[in-house]
Amino acid sequence: MRKKLVVGNWKMNMTRAQAKAAVESLVQLVDPKTEVEVAICPPFLSIESVVTVFSGTPFQVGAQDVFWMPSGAFTGCVSTSMLADAGCELCIVGHSETRGRFGKLEVPATTVAYFAESDETVNLKIKALLAQSIRPILCVGETLEERNEGRTDEVIAAQLKGAFVGITAADYKAGVVAYEPVWAIGTGKTCDNAEANRVCGFIREQLRAILDASTADSIRILYGGSVKPSNAKDLFAQPEIDGGLVGGASLDPKDFSEVIQGA
């Protein structure tokens, strides 16, 4: 049986002091003997603060993104060795926001090209993370337009195929995949439980073909998209959903602890 995993993605929120206070509260609210695996992905500058508080607990720290080159003239980028040195055990890759695919656009439309993630760069990042023994959390998902056109499965299949070029089952056995319908991120909308479960099951079927059946059946597939205390238990009860990648609700320790409890 796959162990539930709940990951908080803080996005561009929290100063170091706020991050420290939030995880100190979380540690008090969540039983360290919980059977749920818990991780927080704070902004780069707060990783050290969270690692320090989580020291001696079973809770883990991840990053929200990474660059694939080990070093060089790449201003503003962070390498996998830097993440490992900071204490990161996981890293999100291919999030819709880094792909420039927003459920709720909060920047001028003319600037969306700034977010230029592609299936090729996702693939390069996954390979770099695996080489450093950092577990990737690969995000896939469709926009509202793609869903309305009936292209959900087609889009996700293409994202998975592109992400796993040159990656074997043995490479990705500890990796994670997260289904995040773009239209449900930051909008307050949540995918229907049955449909979220269906898509996560479709992802697993694709992984069986791309990797192998045994590995696909062991990989945890998370749901992300307006997960909150009120819907977490029902979402996580679905047989193909192995936990959540949680955005807004992870910023409040009480809300996040209730989401964890729901798992």
**3-class secondary structure per residue, 42-79:** CCHHHHHHHHHHHCCCCCEEEECCCCCCCCCCCCCCCC
Going by pLDDT thresholds of 50, 70 and 90, the confidence category of residue 184 is: confident
95 belongs to the catalytic site: yes
Q: Does a structural domain hold residue 132?
A: yes
- Residues spanned by the domain of 79: 5-10+35-43+61-252
- Residue 20 resides in a domain: no
Q: What is the per-residue pLDDT across 225-263, written as a single tens digit (0 to 9) for each? A: 889 999 999 999 999 999 999 999 999 999 999 999 999
pLDDT score of 103: 85
CATH number at residue 148: 3.20.20.70
Which candidate, 109, 121, 129, 139, places its Cα nearest to that of 9? 139
Q: How many domains does the chain have?
A: 1
pLDDT tens digits, 66-108: 999 999 999 999 999 999 999 999 999 999 999 999 988 899 9
Concatenating the DSSP letter of every residue in 207-236 gives HHHHS-HHHHHHSEEEE-SS--HHHHHHHH
Residue 29 lies in a domain: no
What pLDDT score does 1 carry? Answer: 80
pLDDT tens-digit map of 147-157 = 999 999 999 99
Does the annotation count 146 as an active-site position?
no
* Burial annotation 140-164 (CB, 10 A radius, 16+ → b, else e): bbbbeebbeeeebeebbbebbebbb
Whether 52 is covered by a domain: the verdict is: no
Please identify which of the residues 146, 180, 240, 258 carries the catalytic annotation.
180
231 inside domain: yes
Decide if 28 is inside a domain: no
Catalytic residue among 95, 117, 146, 258: 95
Residue in 141, 227, 125 with CA at minimum distance from that of residue 177: 141
Q: What is the pLDDT of residue 185?
A: 80
For residue 9, the model assigns a pLDDT of 98
